[in-house]
Structure formats: C-alpha cells, structure tokens
Amino acid sequence: MNRSRKLGWTDLIFVLIIVALVVGLWHLAVHWEAPPPKSSQEAVDSISLSPLALPLYTFYSLMRGVIAYALSLLFTLVYGYWAAKDKVAQRVLIPMLDILQSIPVLGFAPLLLLVFVKAFPNHNVGLELAVIISIFTGQAWNMTFSFYQSVRAVPSDMHEAATVYRFNWWQRFKWVELPFSAIGLIWNSMMSFAGGWFVLSVVEALDIGKDEAGNPVHYWSPGIGSYLAKASLSDPWDWQAMVLGVLAMTVMIVALDQLLWRPVVAWAQKFRVEEGGAQEATTSWFLNLLRRSRLVSATLEWLGELLAPRSGRKARAGAAAPVDPTQGSPAMAWVSRGLFVVLVGVMIYGAWCLVQLILQLQAATWGVLLVDAFWTLLRVLASLVIGTLWALPAGLAIGLSPRLSRVLQPVVQVLASFPAPLFFPFVIIGLQAVGVNLDWGSILLMLLGTQWYILFNVIAGAMAVPADLKEAARSYNIKGWQRFKILYFPALFPFLVTGWVTAAGGAWNASIVAEFGHDSHSQVLAARGLGADIMKAADGEPEPGAPGAKGAAASKDANYPYLAASVLVLSLVVIVFNRLVWRRCYLLAETRFSITR
C-alpha cells in the first residue's frame, strides 16, 4: 500500500507536467497562427517587460530550441552516417560541414528571414520558422561531427561480431554504431543546446536594414532573447528586467539539466565500451522517479508490445540477408549517389549565383579581405590554445570523477548555455578600463563562446575511458604524466579533435560580435578581421577598396556583394585549414590515437 501511495503522487506530477505542456503548446500554436505585427515598432512594443510574461516567453524560447534540436538530431543521424559510410561523398560532405558551421548566422539570417516572412505574410509562422532554422545552425554541426567521428571509430571487433550475427545495415546501425556513439552524441547535444541559446539571443531580436526614416527594421519574436534585448534598449538599461530575464534563463537551463540531460547521461552509461572493471555509476533522481512510475512503465510496456512483433519480423528478415558493412546494400548505394548528385547540383547553382554577386566588387577589396582573414585566423587559433590549456585538465578531472560530474555538471551547463553575447558589453567595459583594445580583447570574447565545446568533448572522452584500462594502469603503477600519455591522451584525442573543430567553427561565428561592437557610450569599436567586415557589410557600409569608400555613408540596405565576399573568403580559409590540419588530426584519431583498435 505504501508503494502504491508513493507511486500515485509521482504519476500525478507527470500528469500535471503533460497538461502544462499541452497548454503551453496550445499558446504556441495560437501565436504561430496570429497575424504578424503591422509595423517594426509594433514588433518591439508587443514584447512586454512584465515579470508575468516571462514564463510564457521562456516556454516559447524553450520550444524553439527543442524543435531545432529535433531537426538537428535527424540531420545528424542522416548526414553523419552518410559521410561515414560513403567515401566518395565524404570528400565533399565533411569540408562542406566545416563551411556550414563556420558561416556566421548573420551571413545568411537576413535573407533566410526575409524569404520565410514573405512566404507566410499573414501569419507568424514564417518568422518562427526562420528563428528555428537559425537556431538549428547553432546546434547541428557540433552533433554531426561527433556522430561522424564515433561511427568511424567503432572497434573492429564490434563490426566482426555484427558480421557473425548477420546484421543488415539497419541492425548494425541500431545495435552497434548508434549505442557506441551515444555518450559522445549526448554530451555534444548538451553543448549544441548551448550553441542554440547563443544564436537565440541574436535572432529573436534581429534588425535588418533601415526604414525611410533611417531607423532599424525590427524582426522580433517573443522570447527570452527579445525580452533581454528590449530591456537593453532603454537608457539606462532596465536592470530589473535584465536580472529577471537572466534568472529565467538560468532556471530554464538548470531545469533542462536536471530533467533531461542528467537522466539521459545516467541512462547512457550502459553504452560504455568496456569489458570489466569497477565504475561508479552516474545517477539521476528524476530518472529514478521515471523508473518507479507506474504510468511511465505501463506506457513503455505498451510500446514494447506494439513494436516487438515488427522487430521480430525485421530481425528474421535481416538474418536471411547478411550485408557487408564495407560495401552496403545496392539500394543504399543508389540512394547515396542520387543524393550526392542533387547536392552537387544545388552547390553548382549556388556558386553561379555567388559569382554573379561578387563580380560587382573591386579587385582591391579582395586583398583587404585576405589580410583581415589572416588576423581573424590568428585570433581563432589563440582562443583554441587558451581554451585547451584549461579545458583539457578540467574536463579530464570532471569526466573521471562521477562525484565532480554530479556537482560541476549543472554549473558547467549553466555557464556554457548562457549566451556569451550578453557578457560582451561588460567585458568590453573591463577591457577599456585596463587599456586593452578590441584587436587583442576580441580573443577573450571569442574564448567565451568557444571554450565550452572543448570542455564538453573532453568530459565525454574521459567518461568513455574503459574502467578495465584504468585498473590496469593502477595495477602497473602508471601515474601522473605517464598515465596521461599512455592512457588518457589516446582515449581523449578523437573527442578533442571534434572539440577543436567545433570550437574553431564557434570562434568564427563569435567573430562577428567579438570584432565589432559598441562601448557604454554607443561608440563603434572594431578590430581588423573578417567578423568586423561581415558586420560592416550587414550595416550597409561600402567595401574597402571601392572608389570613394572612405567617408561614404552607409546605405539603407545591407551591402550584399561585400557580405558575400567576406563569407566566401571565410569559407575558403576554413576549407584550406580543414584539408591541412583537421583532416590529418581525424586520421590520427582513427589510427594512432585510438584505444579501440
């Protein structure tokens, strides 16, 4: 009887959560169906700074992040698996992924938003879809890199076991590759949500061009990002609204950690690759409640009974048709080649449109952009080095100790998920106080938005180190530097490479707000670099090297040729660096620095 009463109130809580979720989704659907604001100022005025509006705004922002994550997860599984299995497509897919993650949101968000708003002129759906897809760009690339690397690093003995049991490609993916990738994918999903908040703080309150009076045209969506943006519009800032907005975001991040990420991390421990050894299990109070709930248990049993017969038929069908994992089925090969042809066609059309746009620029502009790219590249590398110096030992300590993970993971999650651009004004004030200009200070600003990618990947790698290998190191009395060199570094290197690649992409994204900003007196501050070039182009400034560029006034519309050229140079730098550095690092991760081969 006591057990029944205890389980009863637990189930009641879950029912209330479901009811609240349904009500929130109903409000979200009403907002999507509502007509858009009639004017730019009405879009700003529609954002209420009342504390009573914050819960609904927080839910709106959360749902945008969740929808974007669902799209990111689907993209990750399809794109990452395709790149890992198709060697021909891989030569295009991985460099293109580097380019996609390194193109700043501001480079394509204006066009993306205008297209969707024009496609849905009578509803808010267009604006919401543009915001969600922009958040998607801050989530998907990190997860895809992690999944791609994990699929490539599946131990050969697992592939051999799958061949012995005559798994087809789906069974091999479901029972071998996806479980092996689970830990890294989960930790990078946590980091991807943090990247989503970074983007959300910008795109929920996006300004594009100017109206006839010279005022910015506002495309604002109700959410925490627009709430904080409106609070910062007043002079002086509305500090009460700012504090409440920061508090709401903090509560949301902590709730996500405790109710979603912590239970998933604890559940995923069963996918650890090890043959023995003692390992302290990661626990979650919310996961324990889920396991004790009769309602959840009954739902899972019903789903299991529903899917069991179908799974049995698939298993029998798979046993009759073994598939060589290195070759793949003929149908999958044709699908892969067809998608590759479509992708190449889209790239050729996009390249033709890009050429027509950049032909409008002067030759001198390209020389200036190349020099600016060099300076931004140096800042990106500096932020990677500084981030690695502290994230490697810190992530190793956290990942190897479940106790530290239990205490520090919520703290790290809050710090990593909080949008770095909100800290930039305060950092700029501090830099000015100590006499550091933005040319050097932008490195610190980039670091704020990139260091967490390295930390999360190191934590994931440390948690994935087999316990039997750690016990062997203790048995042979391997300590200190020798243990790091022989055991930990080979285990961490594949995760570290993924962290470096995604952190570099994050640094390029952060450059647009790190190299160009305003001080406390609204004076423009700019460092020399591609990020500043992109911001200037979005503001309509003339490109450097153009006749009469010096002293010329900015136009009302963005300088799209200048913007396209800046993004193109950035992409070329990423491709070259990918071929010369990251590709070799991935090769080392798969061969020399892999503890599973």
Q: Each residue of 484-535: pLDDT tens digit? A: 887 888 888 888 888 888 788 778 878 887 888 766 565 677 888 888 888 7
Which pTM was predicted? 0.77
What pLDDT, in 10s, does the model give residues 416-451?
A: 777 777 677 778 778 888 888 888 988 998 898 788
Residue 81 has pLDDT above 60, yes or no: yes
pLDDT at 107: 66
Q: What is the 3-state secondary structure (H, E, C) of 50-109?
A: CHHHHHHHHHHHHHHHHHHHHHHHHHHHHHHHHHHHCHHHHHHHHHHHHHHHHCCHHHHH
pLDDT at 4: 46
Distance CA 347, CA 420 (A): 33
Residue 1 banded pLDDT, cuts 50, 70, 90: very low
Residue 326 has pLDDT above 50, yes or no: no
Candidate from 53-67, 265-279, 338-352, 356-370 with smallest mean pLDDT:
265-279
Give the tokens for residue 246.
Answer: 């920061």
What pLDDT, in 10s, does the model give residues 101-131?
A: 767 666 677 778 878 888 888 888 989 999 9
Residue 399 banded pLDDT, cuts 50, 70, 90: confident
Distance CA 425, CA 233 (A): 13
Distance CA 216, CA 121 (A): 20
pLDDT at 284: 80
Percent of the chain residues past pLDDT 90, beyond the cut: 12
For residues 467 and 225, the model is more confident at: 225
Before 236, cis peptide (omega within 30)? yes
pLDDT at 556: 58
Residue 525 phi, psi (nearest 5): -120, 130
pLDDT at 261: 86
Taking CB atoms within 8 Å and a gap of at least 24, the contacts of 210-216 are 210/540, 210/556, 211/40, 211/556, 214/556, 215/40, 216/40
For residues 357 and 54, the model is more confident at: 54
Please, are residues 73 and 182 in contact by the beta-carbon 8 Å criterion?
no
For residues 306 and 194, the model is more confident at: 194
pLDDT at 384: 94
pLDDT at 574: 80
For residues 111 and 584, the model is more confident at: 584
Residue 210 banded pLDDT, cuts 50, 70, 90: low
Residue 259 has pLDDT above 80, yes or no: yes
Candidate from 48-57, 211-220, 320-329, 393-402 with smallest mean pLDDT:
320-329
Helices (H) and strands (E) in the chain, counts: 26, 4
Mean pLDDT of the chain: 80
Residue 327 has pLDDT above 60, yes or no: no
pLDDT at 549: 53
Residue 282 has pLDDT above 50, yes or no: yes
Residue 234 has pLDDT above 80, yes or no: no
What pLDDT, in 10s, does the model give residues 524-583?
A: 778 888 888 887 887 667 777 655 555 555 555 667 788 888 888 888 888 788 788 888
